[in-house]
Structure 1
Amino acid sequence: MFEFMDSAIAKGGVVLVHCMMGISRSASTCIAFLMWKHRLSFVQAAEQVYAARPFISPNPGFVLQLLLWERGGMEFKSWEGWSYHKFSGVKEQLGGLERCLFDTVMRDAGVNLANVSEQRNLGNFVFLVPSPPSKRRPMPVKWTQRFCCIT
């Protein structure tokens, strides 16, 4: 997936990453991509994503997995030999899932999430996608049950 995202961006394209609510899974995917592509720490990547979408809140399990991936050098082979037993052991070493709440991890790292949007306006986040052009045409949408069809 990361190679696809990287290739699209390198060609000047954009990539839409979305999940049901746009709060946890998609945010975790974007954080992981930035960690992988730019060799950022979890906190640095999460700050970038939070600046673009201030209501993200990756669930503690995803946060823990991303922190473990960071510890493993952000290489996919670092997950070889992964097991629930090892995962549970590291989870307890970190103080349990309560210590992996997004706000707690960011606060413990010294990040004041309330100031992130202010810093964004100052241009302190280099990996954000620029806003779309001001001339946007409305996109007609037809709703069919839970799916939408763009016409």
Structure 2
Amino acid sequence: MAPLAASREGETDIVTGLVKAGTPVEARDARGFSPLILAAYHGHTQTVKALLAAGADACAGDNRGNTALMGAAFKGYADIVKLLAAQPCAVDQTNGLGQTALMFAVLFGRDEVADQLRHQGASPALRDASGRSAEDWARTQAPAAPVA
């Protein structure tokens, strides 16, 4: 099993063995997904811990600039967000569209994750390439007022 597939499936022992055997911890697929990005996106906390311990770059993005933190925020994995937010990356790191992990968290209603990111210093006022802030994205998720 390749490190990317093992990371996607949360096969921590396999990932650890492959890295110890010399497989690059920063292997990438055609979309630029690394083992860390895949493990974070699929909610595999122990695999994320193992990859970070092996030196995986938490700040590295895929071909669109999306990071492991953004993927975990999008999916709402608070435990993984906590691990990744503790890495030496900017909490407001942006992807190619200027979007941040906080924007993903609020867009998909991941309140616990959004609170964590704000606590880590994420700015709700930053604007993406379309001019929207996290606050703007959050408002798109508010229930519509009933029509009288």
- TM-score, with structure 1 as normaliser: 0.27
- TM-score, with structure 2 as normaliser: 0.28
Higher strand fraction (1 or 2): 1
Structure label with greater radius of gyration: 1
